[in-house]
Amino acid sequence: MSENEKKFEQLSAYLDGELTAAEAKRVEEALRRDESLAEELAALRATRDLVRNLPRQGAPEDLADRVMAQAERLTLVGARGGEQAGRPMRWVRYVAAAAVVVVAVGMGLIIKSTMDATRQGRRHVVKKETPSTAPEVATRTEGEPHKREAREKFAAKDADAERRLAAKPAPGKEATGMPPAPGEAGEKAVAETEKLDAKKELPVEPTVVAKPAAPLVADKAAPSDESTALARKAAKPEIEAAKGKLAEADEDKQLAALLANARSYRIDAVDLPRNRAALKDEVETVLRNNGLEPLTFADDRQRATTQARHGGYFYAKADEKKVQIWTVVGRDQVPELLKQLSRTQMNQVAFAYKNVAAVAPAGVAAKAGAGVRGGEAQPAATAPGAGYGAKAAPAPSREAPEGQAQVARADRGAEAAEDLAAQQVEQAVRRRDQVGGMKAEEVEPPATRPVEAVASKVAEEAVVQRALPQITLRQWEFARQVMSQQRDQGLLGADVEPLVIELNFVPPEPAADITATMNEAALRVKQDAAESTAPNAPASEPPTAPANKAND
Amino acid sequence: MQAFGSLVAKYQDRIYNMILRMCGRAADAEELTQDTFLRALERIGQFTGRSEFYTWLFRVAANLTISHKRRSMRIRFQTLDPDEARSGTQADSLTAAVAAQRDPPPQAAAMASETRQRVLEALEALDDEFRLVVVLCDVEQMDYAQAADVIGVPVGTVKSRLHRARWALKEKLADLVA
């Protein structure tokens, strides 16, 4: 850099205030001395200001929405081809590349050892070659006629060599006993014969090949080779499991799980502020396309009453903070509906109510207060605090048996969990009775049925644990918070403990989760590999699925 | 996801503006801005906290933009509409409204538009490495250390590149600078 150029560079930095005090002082002195330098500074300042004064362009209005929608899609469908997914795959590729190198070295050693063995026992090998190699050669050369021809040619030459060797007076004197081909020609013939023999030894004499080769490989490269192979084997399911966990599985599976445990659904679409109205329109369009006409209700009571008298309805509205879509539609309609909704551009939180007091007919609502064992429903009118069911006008009695039957069907899948929960509750009550000397009914008012409420809660959590391995503790807590708010607002009965399912809701700290998962996966792979290479270690087993955190 | 949404809301305008000044086309800038945030989301694990988040985000944006420019080097589209980059944005409507209120003389408005176009063309004529320094230091008004962090070069390199870029701009815009 010339002196002049350096001076101008200092001038530019001076303009930006990026010089030290001493440097700035020197520049100022130079500016005082040199007018042209001052003019240069003015020109630089004018140039900088021209660029600075360019109008700032804001991002388009809907850019944030699009980014968020894509981010959600990426996270939901696991379409991330990026770093988190790519890092382990690259690691596997590196391991695979290392394995190839190790295998190549091992093969080289095998060939070398085979050639050595050939030199020592060529006659033995050649004699055994003919009967045992025929099928193997056929197998190996299948589909490669030119190789087969070459092998046949080699075999013919070997036969000649064998005849010559058989004619020799004593073994171990091949060099001197060769036909009269002295000098280089003779050495070539020996070398060629050796090459041909070496080529055939691999399939011909497995014991000869394997025995010297195995120790060589084991001595020099066995640990890395073996551990590499094991690591690769172990890494695949581990990484797949991690990816699956991160991708939150696919929508259809979640919908199936949701359907298996719920009879009615509520979806809170917590959308971005800007597109709320558009989202409501979109959701209503989806619903209409499914043959569901929008209804409006004066209040929750009217809604519950209407719902009790009809097979199903939906209700959609956009309030200040979110779009709410209530659906209590036929089960056959729900899957497609949810599937479509889940593909809209929004965060989705779906709550599936196992106890359907909030939105179900009175006969069903009664069960929510009465406990979880099928057929134990109370009459709606006597079920205290049974949410909408209690607030609504009593449903026609003819609907109660149907509601009970529906509940029984819905709960059938959860019977095992309920039995377990009931046992746990009974044990807890027995312990409490022993300790406190009081019966449950003396402690709590009978109307609230605390034992059954606890049973219900335990059973629900058991169902969640069983049916929704993907749900996270944070999601569970989030949903519970929402439910608590709704209860405070009087939208839910105090004794209604909903089974909560959160669909496609992505935790906000993916990096930590991903890093932890990947670290965990890497450590487990490493550990598995170490255990597998240990003496008498059992073969590595596929790793277990990530632990369910729902009820940690 | 809410946290990510707030990051998007906070930085989208700066990132978009930076990319727009780098690539010159609104459509590309939109796409690259989206890609920047998605890439950042994917690679958030690489953010170690040693630098400021926004410099890290700018680095992602700069790398994507330069890669994009290299890919599309063979086919270059030059807009014939100087206002294309501004169309359809909220800022655009706001600017138009303010401009209408001020009601500047048509001649002055035309001159301002021409000056802006000249500056943009001069900027576009710079090589990417020089252009990026100018965009970061003069458009985004980062200091040298921040720009160096974004670009991943020493501060001295930023200083040198910025000087050379300004020199080139000054030559091209001599009549405006005088």
Tell me the pLDDT tens digit for each residue of A120-175: 544 443 333 333 333 333 334 344 455 556 566 656 665 665 565 555 444 443 33
Indicate whether B11 pLDDT > 80: yes
pLDDT above 90 as % of chain B: 22
Domain limit, last residue, from B25, B57, B73: B73
For residue B127, the surrounding DSSP H or E stretch is: none
Residue B79: inside a domain, yes or no? Answer: no
Are A519 and A479 found together in one domain?
no
Residues B130, B173: one domain?
Answer: yes
Chain A residues touching residue B176 (CB < 8 angstroms): 46, 50
Looking at the fold, whether B52 and B110 belong to one and the same domain comes out as no
Number of H helices, E strands in chain B: 9, 0
- Cβ pairs A/B, distance under 8 A: 155
| pTM of the predicted structure, to 2 decimals | 0.37
Task: Band the pLDDT of B19: cuts 50, 70, 90.
Answer: very high
User: Is the domain of A39 the same as that of A127?
Assistant: no
Say yes or no: A517 and A482 in one domain: no
Task: Judge if A194 and A238 occupy the same domain.
Answer: no
What is the total count of domains within chain B?
2
Q: Are residues B64 and B127 in the same domain?
A: no
Among B151, B154, B116, B115, smallest CA distance to B130 is for B151
Residues A28 and A154 in one domain: no
The range of the structural domain enclosing residue A27 comes to 3-51
- B67 and B107 in one domain? no
Average pLDDT over residues A236-258: 56
Query: What is the per-residue pLDDT for A240?
Result: 65
pLDDT at position A175, please? 37
User: Which CATH number characterizes residue B136's domain?
Assistant: 1.10.10.10
d(C-alpha B16, C-alpha A524), whole Å: 42
Is position A415 within any domain? no
- Distances in whole angstroms, Cα of residue A309 to Cα of each of A302, A304, A403: 11, 9, 12
For residue A105, tell me if it sits in a domain.
yes
Summarised one tens digit per residue, pLDDT across range B50-78 is: 777 888 889 999 999 988 888 766 444 43
How many angstroms from the chain centroid is the CA of residue A346? 21
Tell whether B29 is covered by a domain: yes
* Domain contains A358: yes
Q: Are residues B118 and B178 in the same domain?
A: yes
| pLDDT band for position A259 (cuts 50, 70, 90) | very low
pLDDT at B9: 82
Residues B108 and B63 in one domain: no
**Do B65 and B107 belong to one domain?**
no
Could you tell me which of A4, A229, A202 has the C-alpha nearest to residue A103?
A229
Residues of B in contact with A322 (CB under 8 A): none
The CATH code of the domain that includes B43 is 1.10.1740.10
A45 lies in the same domain as A114: no
In a shared domain, residues B11 and B56: yes
Check whether residue B159 and residue B109 sit in a common domain.
Answer: yes
Average pLDDT over residues A523-547: 49
A390 CB neighbour count, 10 Å cutoff: 23
* A79: contact with B, CB 8 A cutoff: no
Measured between CB atoms, does A63 come within 8 Å of chain B?
Answer: yes
Q: Does the residue A213 lie in any domain?
A: yes
Residue B3's pLDDT is: 72
| Residue A321 shares a structural domain with residue A302 | yes
Average pLDDT over residues A493-515: 40
B contacts of A71 (beta carbons < 8 Å): 1, 4, 37-38, 41
The total number of residues written for chain B in this structure: 178
- Residue-level pLDDT at A70: 78
B120, B158: one domain: yes
Instruction: Determine, yes or no, domain membership for B78.
Output: no
What is the residue type of A45? R
Q: Return the minimum-mean-pLDDT range out of A62-66, A74-78, A208-212, B83-87.
A: A208-212
Domain count along chain A:
4
Instruction: Tell whether A187 is within 8 A of chain B (Cβ).
Output: no
- B7 against A524, higher pLDDT: B7
Same-domain status, A399 and A265: yes
Interface check for A58 against chain B (CB to CB < 8 A): the answer is yes
For residue B48, being part of any structural domain is answered with yes
* A145 inside domain: yes
Note whether A10 and A20 are within 8 A (CB): no
Q: Residues A139, A140, A145, A151: what is their CA dihedral angle, to the nearest 10 degrees?
A: -110
Say whether both A471 and A322 belong to one domain.
Answer: yes
Same domain, A88 and A159: yes
Within a domain: B94: no
pLDDT of residue A313: 43
Residue A200 resides in a domain: yes
Mean pLDDT of chain B: 77
- Residue B157 within any structural domain of the chain: yes
Q: Are residues A496 and A530 in the same domain?
A: no
pLDDT at A289 over 50: yes
Q: What is the pLDDT of residue B62?
A: 92
Q: DSSP state, A447?
A: G
pLDDT digits (tens, 9 = 90+) for A327-348: 444 444 545 555 555 433 333 3
User: Is residue A394 in a domain?
Assistant: yes
CA distance A266 to A496: 14
B138: containing domain: 101-178
Task: List all residues of chain A from 490 to 509 with a beta carbon under 8 Å from chain B.
Answer: 505-509
Share of chain B above pLDDT 70, in %: 76
Which residues of A fall within a CB distance of 8 Å from B33?
A: 59, 63, 67
pLDDT digits (tens, 9 = 90+) for A371-418: 222 222 222 222 222 222 222 222 223 333 333 444 444 344 344 444
Is the ipTM higher than 0.90? The answer is no
Residue of A44, A72, A83 lying closest to B46 (CB–CB): A83
Identify the DSSP state of B64. H
Alpha-carbon span A429 to A439, nearest angstrom = 8
- List the single residue in B with minimal CA-CA distance to A9: B163
- Shared domain for A472 and A337, answered yes or no, is yes
Any B CB within 8 A of A74 CB: yes
Is pLDDT larger for residue B43 or for residue A309? B43
Residue A440 belongs to some domain of the structure = no
Same domain, B110 and B51: no
The shortest C-alpha distance from B74 to chain A (Å) reads: 26
Is B11 within a domain?
yes
What confidence category does residue A487 fall into, taking pLDDT thresholds of 50, 70 and 90? Answer: low
The whole-number average pLDDT for the span A430-434 is 53
**Are B59 and B122 members of one domain?**
no
Other CB atoms closer than 10 Å to residue A337's CB: what's the count?
25
Domain membership flag for residue B85: no
Q: Tell me, what's the pLDDT at A391? A: 25
